[in-house]
Amino acid sequence: MGSMGNRKALEMVRSMPRVSFVNIRDNPGSKKQKKIRGQGGSRGGESGRGRSGKSKRDTRPPIGYEGGTTPFYLRIPMFPFYKNFATRRQYIPVSLEKLQHLIDMGRIDPEEPIDVTSFVHAGAVRINVFDRVYGIHLTDEGADKFVAPVNLEVQWTSELSIAAVERSGGTISLGYYDPQSLDILSHPLQFFRRGQPIPKRLLPPKDLVDMYTDPSKRGYLSDPNQIKENRLLLAQKFGYELPDLTKGSRRALHR
C-alpha cells in the first residue's frame, strides 16, 4: 500500500504545471508605461474635440439650457399643491414621545405652563423667525406612552395629540404669535436686556382665524364653554374617562 500511494503522489506531482519562463510575469507596477505625447498620444490631432464647430471652440450652451423661447417653468403646468410654497408658514415638529422624554429627564417642569419658551430653554427646538417659523407643531408619535398631566400651548396639532394630552389630565391650546412676538417669546432674556417696551401681540391673519377660534382644535380665541363640550365629545370618541380639572393640586394651572 505504501509503494502504491507513493507512486500516485509522484504521478500527480509530475502532471502539475511547472514554473518556467513561459508562465511567469512581472509584479504589478514593476514596469511603468511611458506616456506618449503629441500626435501619437490619445489626444493627438484634434485633441478629441473634432473639427471646427461649437464643440471645438467650447461655445456650447451651459448645463440645463434647452433652447427655444419658453422656459421650462412656464412650459410645465402649475400644480395647486405648489401654490405659495415659498411663503408657507413653517412649524417645528415636536412629538409627544419627545415631550414625555424631556419631562422625564427634568428638562421641562410639568408643574408649570409649557409653551415655546419652555421648549427653547430645554434645547428641544431652535426658533428662527427669518425661516418663516411660526411656532411648534405637536405630533402624535408616542401618544399611547404620554402620561404627564401638563398645561400646554402650541401652534399646531392634531386631534389624536389633543386626546392624548387630555386623557392624561392635561390641557392644550393653540396660540398664535406674530413673528416679532414669537422671537421675543423664544429669547425673552435677550429682549429684556435691550430695555425696550413689550410690543402688542397681534391677532392671527384672516386665513388662520377659523383655526384659532375653533373649540374642537382648542383655539385660544374660542368659547371656553364650547371647549368643555368638545373635551367631553373627544373623550367619548376615543373611549377614555375625562379627568376632573377642578380638583387636585393642579387646579390653578387649568383655571
Other C-beta atoms within 10 Å of 23: how many? 8
Residue 30 corresponds to which amino acid? S
Closest CA to 220 of 182, 252, 186, 172: 172
Domains and CATH numbers, the chain: 88-233 (3.100.10.10)
Condensed to tens digits (0 to 9), the pLDDT of residues 134-179 reads 999 999 999 999 999 999 999 999 999 999 999 999 999 999 999 9
Q: Residue 255 above 50 pLDDT?
A: no
**pLDDT band with cut points at 50, 70 and 90 for residue 252:** very low
Task: Name the burial class of residue 246, with classes exposed (0-12), middle (13-18) and buried (19+) by CB atoms within 10 angstroms of its CB.
Answer: exposed
- Per-residue pLDDT, averaged over 6-29, amounts to 82
Condensed to tens digits (0 to 9), the pLDDT of residues 71-129 reads 777 777 667 776 777 778 999 999 999 999 999 999 999 999 999 999 999 999 999 98
pLDDT of residue 24: 82
Largest CA distance in the chain: 110
Condensed to tens digits (0 to 9), the pLDDT of residues 21-31 reads 777 888 888 88
Q: Residue 41 above 80 pLDDT?
A: no
The dihedral sign for the CA sequence 119, 189, 187, 125: negative
3-state secondary structure 129-148: HHHCEEEEEEECCCHHHCCC
Closest CA to 171 of 107, 101, 227: 227
> What are the angstrom distances between the C-alpha of 75 and each of 27, 63, 66, 68, 78?
60, 18, 12, 11, 9
Q: Residue 251 above 50 pLDDT?
A: no
d(CA 220, CA 208): 12
**pLDDT band with cut points at 50, 70 and 90 for residue 250:** low
